[in-house]
Amino acid sequence: MAEDRVNVMRGYKATLHNPNTSQQAKQHAQSVLDDELGGDQPSEDVHNAQSGDKDPMRVAAGYKAAQHNPNVTDEGKRRAKEGLEHVPQE
C-alpha cells in the first residue's frame, strides 16, 4: 500500500536529518530512498489518493488561519488568500 511506503520513507528521511546519525547510516538511508522506494513517488500517490477526501470547510479554515498567523510570511499569506478563492463554497 502506498501509505505504508510513505511511512517507511518518512523514517529514512528522518535519518537523513538527524544530527546524531552516522554518515554511513545516512548514506544507507539515501540509497534506500533512491533505489528501493522510488524517490518521492509514494508520497505523490498518497496525496493523489487523498486529495478528493478533503472537506472544503476545513481547507478554507486552514487558509484563513494562515492569513492571520503572525509566523506566516507575506508570501504565504498571499498564497493562502489565493487558495481561499479557489475553495468550493457550499
* CA 88/CA 86 separation, integer angstroms: 6
DSSP label at residue 21: S
Looking at residue 9, its pLDDT comes to 82
C-alpha cell read off for 51: 486529495
Q: At what angle do helices 56-68 and 74-85 cross, to 10 degrees?
A: 150
Ranges of residues in the chain with a pLDDT under 70 are 1-3, 39-53, 90
DSSP H helix total and E strand total for the chain: 5, 0
Residue 42 near residue 6 (C-beta atoms within 8 A): yes
Looking at residue 80, its pLDDT comes to 92
Looking at residue 19, its pLDDT comes to 93
